[in-house]
Structure formats: C-alpha cells, structure tokens
C-alpha cells in the first residue's frame, strides 16, 4: 500500500498529505474534492473518497498563524481518505508544493511532519481491512 506525499513549497523538507481549508459554505466533502484537485490535479469523485468522521484539534504552528484570523491558535482538522487503484502521476501546484512521491505506508508515516498526518497513515491498514498490508 502506497501513500502520496507532497513537499511544501513554503517549507522545503516538510512532507504531508493533501490539506486545505473550507471556502465559504462548502461541505467538508466538497472541500476535500476541491483540495485534491488543486493540489494533485486528480478528480476525487472518480475514486473512493471516504469521510473518516474523525476530527483532530491541534495548535497551529506559529509560522502559519498569519493565515488565520488574529488570535486563532488552534485548528480543527477533518480526515478523509482517497483510495486509488494504483500510484499514478499527479500534477502539483508549484505555488504550494515542490514535489511529490508515492511511498510505502510505513515510510510515509515516518516522513510526514504532522503528528495527526502520521496517525492517519498508520491507520490505513486497519481501514483498508488488511491483516498484512504490503
């Protein structure tokens, strides 16, 4: 099982899964679909997009607080999973990312900088329902 990671343009060496924020009155699902398209060029409606019904509240890293309203220090993250039939090339947005790579899930979990991203990746085998993931 491989996981797509994206390297942040604003912090080289920081790897993550697709992330983003809601625009206006978007549903969480609409946000996930839009962010996948913006960050990878993939149409998430063509694949198995699953709302994990999981929320993580975390402190926003100081270097990114300028993106939020004054005084906002915490964010609520909603977790989705997108399963593709295979690792395929993606079209990254150079404004947001320097590169991408598909990694085996254990390597991906070790490479991401976000603890909640790591936890989500480590849940993949259980969520996929495999006793012995590859």
Structural domain boundaries in the chain: 2-51+81-128
**What pLDDT, on the 0 to 100 scale, is given for residue 132?**
43
130 pLDDT above the threshold of 80: no
Q: Classify domain 2-51+81-128 at the CATH topology level.
A: Nucleoside Triphosphate Pyrophosphohydrolase (3.90.79)
**What pLDDT, on the 0 to 100 scale, is given for residue 66?**
87
| CA–CA gap between residue 7 and residue 98 (Å, rounded) | 5
| CA–CA gap between residue 89 and residue 67 (Å, rounded) | 29
pLDDT, tens only, 34-63? 999 999 999 999 999 999 999 999 888 888
8 pLDDT above the threshold of 50: yes
**Measured on CA atoms in the order 33, 60, 52, 88, is the torsion positive or negative?**
positive
Arithmetic mean of pLDDT over the chain: 92
**What pLDDT, on the 0 to 100 scale, is given for residue 102?**
98
pLDDT, tens only, 74-118? 989 999 999 999 999 999 999 999 999 999 999 999 999 999 999
Q: Which residue from 100, 83, 104 is spatially nearest to 91, judged by alpha carbons?
A: 100
Tell me if 58 sits within 8 A of 77, measured CB to CB.
yes
131 pLDDT above the threshold of 50: no
pTM across the whole model: 0.87
Q: Which alpha helices (H) appear in 8-134, and where do they start and end?
A: 28-40, 105-111, 115-128
């Amino acid at each position: 099982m491989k996981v797509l990671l994206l390297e942040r343009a604003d912090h080289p060496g920081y790897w993550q899964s697709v992330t983003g924020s809601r625009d206006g009155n978007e549903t969480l699902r609409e946000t996930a679909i839009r962010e996948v398209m913006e960050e990878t060029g993939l149409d998430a409606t063509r694949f198995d997009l699953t709302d994990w019904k999981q929320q993580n509240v975390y402190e926003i890293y100081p270097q990114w607080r300028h993106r939020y309203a004054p005084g906002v220090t915490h964010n609520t993250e909603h977790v989705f999973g997108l399963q593709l039939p295979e690792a395929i090339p993606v079209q990254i947005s150079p404004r947001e990312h320097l590169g991408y790579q598909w990694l085996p899930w254990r390597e991906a979990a070790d490479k991401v900088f976000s603890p909640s991203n790591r936890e989500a990746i480590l849940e993949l085998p259980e969520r996929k329902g495999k006793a012995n993931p590859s």
